[in-house]
Amino acid sequence: MSTITQIDAYQKEEFTSTLRNGKIVTNDVYTQGTGSKVVILIQELPGIGQETLALADRFVHEGYTVVLPHLFGKIGKTATRINALKVLFCMRRQFKNLAKNESSPIVDFLSDLCTATKEKHQVQGVAVIGMCITGNFAISLMANEAVLAGFASQPSLPYKKDGLHMSPEEVTTVKNRLDAIGPMHCARFKGDTTCPASRFDLYKKTFNSDRERIILHELPGDGHAILTLDFVDEDGHATKEALNDVITYFDSQLSPN
């Protein structure tokens, strides 16, 4: 992709939500495209960098409207690892990075955004993509009836490897919702230590013990950011095939019956 649509070409508006901890949060939300299918693309690191904007362009090219909430960090580039830790420490009340059995409060903001986006665009439902820090937010958001499709890419929370970052009640609601609308998708690189194989084993045990509710994909290699930093826009490459699979799945879920 030779030219990436920059954020100043997006439509910008503010969205406000009250989190479960009582905190009122207002974030900027950027929208690009006029397609009849809507995807909410959740940034993976502090900052919205060029790779994320390039991913948004790919969905717009496929006939989607992309809704991009700006949750943390600077626009235009992603933070370094050290700066990312500083930003997340400052936002620890919204991102409970170590919580094993509780999702981050910022999920409440995203859930409200999904509901409002469905109503605003007058669609039957929206798709969501979470990546890295926000990866398993896509799983939590499947509890919302406005969400018809979800892709969790390299989900990395909690930082302690032995939790779901979801409460038992959330897990039950998500399972019931996936039973009603069909399985969602989740992916990681086989060599990714940030999203380890043990996390997929836990997903299998929790969600897929009696039926497949989360379709789990493992890509070859030691990369991490499947759809952004490690994405290779070449036919036949595993990351390009993963994106094509996501688009096909979203198309199927969002198309009118």
Mean per-residue pLDDT for 95-102? 54
Q: Which residue has the higher pLDDT, 75 or 62?
A: 62
Residue 2 lies in a domain: no
Mean pLDDT to the nearest integer, 93-111 = 71
- pLDDT of the residue at 76: 67
**What does the alpha-carbon distance between residue 144 and residue 98 come to, in Å, rounded to a whole number?**
24
In the chain, the number of structural domains is 1
- Please check the confidence at residue 60 and state whether its pLDDT lies above 90: yes
Structural domain includes residue 186: yes
The answer on pLDDT for 98 being more than 50 is: no
- 44 pLDDT band (50/70/90 cuts)? confident
Distance (Å, rounded) from C-alpha 246 to C-alpha 226?
12
* pLDDT over threshold 60, residue 56: yes
pTM higher than 0.85: yes
Mean pLDDT of 107-122: 97
Instruction: Calculate the dihedral angle through the C-alpha atoms of 101, 106, 110, 113, rounding to the nearest 10 degrees.
Output: 140
CATH number of 104's domain: 3.40.50.1820
DSSP 143-184: GSTTEEEEEEES---SSSTT--SS-HHHHHHHHHHHHHH--E
Confidence band (pLDDT; 50, 70, 90) for 46?
confident
> What confidence score (pLDDT) does residue 255 get?
86
Q: Is the residue at 238 inside a domain?
A: yes
Residue 146 resides in a domain: yes
- The average pLDDT across 70-80 equals 73
Residue 1 located in a structural domain: no
Domain range for 207: 7-254
